[in-house]
Amino acid sequence: MTWPATARYRLEPAPGGLGLVQDLLNTVAAGTPPHPDLLDGLAEARAWAHEAAVEWAAATGLPAPHLTLDAEGLRELRTFRETLGKLVARQGEGRSQESGEGAGALGPGVAYSGEAALRLGEDGVVRLEPCGTGWRHLVALALAAAYDGRRADTARRLKTCRNPLCRVAFYDRSRNNSGVWHDVKTCGNAANLRAYRARRREQET
């Protein structure tokens, strides 16, 4: 799988459709040094949406949706991304424990909805099939992936790097879901060094 935004950070993507949620979050200007925002302009956003749709299809085994974006839709998508990013960051800061509290990427009270249909497959499995048009279809795909991730208990492992200068979205594969950095060598070591220097300054005063 090569999700276009997540691949910029050489990260293994989240499983299944949850990779779309991670990739949408990773379209921001993040990392150290930061990569460009893939939703900065309409041309860039359309290119990302097309590639993301292809990857979503490969991850889910469903036909690739045709995601269209106009200027208004791009503004709505950016707002949705910001809301989603805040919620994922919040759940990664201690609100998604093994008890399952806050385990989904989205919680009650969030002012977003997406259209979806329930489809019975030939294999006898009922699936949630996102639909809609334009940016709403993309939001529906992300919400459905978050819903499926909650049911599979995987959404709580989607986090954003705790380094405030980074905020890259990563999928925590540690056994106890304790990861806080998207890359320990870069963000983790830098944070530990800053903390060490702060303690030294306190000791010297």
CA angle 68-29-184, nearest 5°? 125
- Alpha carbon distance 1, 166 (integer Å): 23
Which of 164, 144, 168, 167 lies closest to 155, judged by CA? 144
> Given this model, what pLDDT does residue 94 score?
59
**DSSP code for 185:** I
**DSSP code for 9:** G
Cα 48–chain centre separation: 14
The pLDDT tens digits along the chain (205 residues) read 689 999 999 999 999 999 999 999 999 998 777 899 999 999 999 999 999 999 999 999 888 998 999 999 999 999 999 999 998 988 766 544 443 444 344 555 556 778 888 888 888 888 888 888 999 999 999 999 999 999 999 999 999 998 888 889 999 999 899 888 888 777 855 555 555 455 556 666 6
pTM for the model stands at 0.83
Preceding amide of 33 cis, omega within 30: yes
> Given this model, what pLDDT does residue 102 score?
42
Q: How far is CA 64 from CA 5, 7, 56, 67, 125, in A?
A: 18, 19, 7, 9, 20
- Alpha carbon distance 156, 103 (integer Å): 5
> Given this model, what pLDDT does residue 190 score?
52
Name the β-bridge partners of 177: none
Q: 91 near 159, Cβ under 8 Å?
A: yes
Burial bucket for residue 149 (CB in 10 Å: 0-12, 13-18, 19+)? buried
* Three-state secondary-structure class, residue 115: coil
